[in-house]
Amino acid sequence: MKKSKVTTLSIALIFAFLLPGGATAQGMPVYDNTNFITLGKQIIESAKQTSELLKTVEFLREQKERIEKVNDVIKQLKAVRELTRNNERLFDMVRNDLREILDSPHIRPEEVERISNAFNAIIEHSLEDLEFVEQILSSDFLKMTDAERIAVLKEKQIRSKEMVGEIQRKAKRYRDIISFRAMQATINNRKTNY
């Protein structure tokens, strides 16, 4: 009996050693519930972080739009400042140059009105441009975007520079006429010693 017990025991031990290795490899998988809980917590935390990121992105987008609006306003202000400077130069040049030209003894009386009208036409056009710019900036009835306003302001700024150049050319032309007439008067009035 001992021998049959030993044989049975050894067969049982062999099965015990051999079967569990093969049986566990093909058996049902064992899950740890703590992994599911940790995974769930991680997913919830990731969702919170994603939500915060979306809020941050929206906040940054709003800030970008505000910065662009401020940038557009600054561009408008620079254009208006340049336009104002050009018009101030224009008025100063007309005031000083016109007075100098009209006070010259070499300008004939019939030319005074024509010269004054030429300078006044430029000043009137400049004032019309300033009034239009004021309407663009102060009133919303034109329904213009900031980019359109800037384009109009740039156009008026260029036009004011052209007017300054036109005044300079006219003043130079009249000064040349005056100097030519002065030289002509000097030549005609000189004493001859021969």
- Angle (nearest 5°) at CA 161 between 158 and 131: 70
Q: Which residue has the tokens 């016109």?
A: 98
- The predicted pLDDT at position 32 comes to 64
Q: Report pLDDT digits (tens) over 14-59.
A: 766 666 555 555 556 666 667 778 888 899 999 999 999 999 999 9
Higher pLDDT, 79 or 62: 62
| Both structure tokens of 53 | 């990121």
Domain boundaries, position 100? 77-189
Number of domains in the chain: 1
In a domain, 5, yes or no: no
Taking the C-alpha atoms of residue 150 and residue 2, their distance in angstroms, rounded to an integer, is 110
Please report which residue ranges of 103-145 form alpha helices under DSSP H. 109-138
Does residue 160 sit within a domain? yes
In a domain, 92, yes or no: yes
Q: Is residue 68 part of a domain?
A: no
Query: Does residue 21 form part of some domain?
Result: no
The pTM of this model reads: 0.56
Position of tokens 């004493």? Answer: 191
pLDDT of residue 60: 92
Decide if 90 is inside a domain.
yes
Q: What is the pLDDT of residue 89?
A: 86
Rounded average pLDDT over 124-142: 77
The residue that leads in pLDDT, 140 or 87, is: 87
Query: Does a structural domain hold residue 28?
Result: no
- Give the model's pLDDT for residue 56: 93
* Best CA proximity match to 120, nearest among 157, 90, 165, 82: 90
Length reported for the chain: 194
Confidence of residue 63 (pLDDT cuts 50, 70, 90): very high
Percent of the chain having pLDDT more than 90? 12
Q: Do the domain assignments include residue 110?
A: yes
